[in-house]
Structure 1
């Protein structure tokens, strides 16, 4: 049985869908507090550093459009 067919797997898929729909595409940053735990840590090239918890995640997401516009403007 695949992980997606298990109850926790399905919950994880739904959380990712809600994140993409509500937070990333819809820019409803308040939803982030409902979708991730406070001990969340994001690692990766998009942030350029580690992000710890909801507050740092929200701040980073709010600044994404500004960073994209700066890097893409000619």
Structure 2
């Protein structure tokens, strides 16, 4: 997954056990809270996810592609 704001892009790395445990949320949630460890290596910033939680969003988002 990728998080993006006005300051740049951060990759969210979901190791297989974390993704399998939270697969339903990762695929279906409109917004997520990601717990994990921040890593910066060679100018690349990642969050290694340890837990995903649903972030309640009022209404329904029609698309998840914000381009």
- TM-score w.r.t. structure 1 length? 0.27
- TM-score w.r.t. structure 2 length? 0.29
Higher helix share: 1
Higher strand share: 2
- Return the index of the structure with the highest Cα Rg: 1
Q: More relative contact order in 1 or in 2 (CA 8 Å, sep 6+)?
A: 2
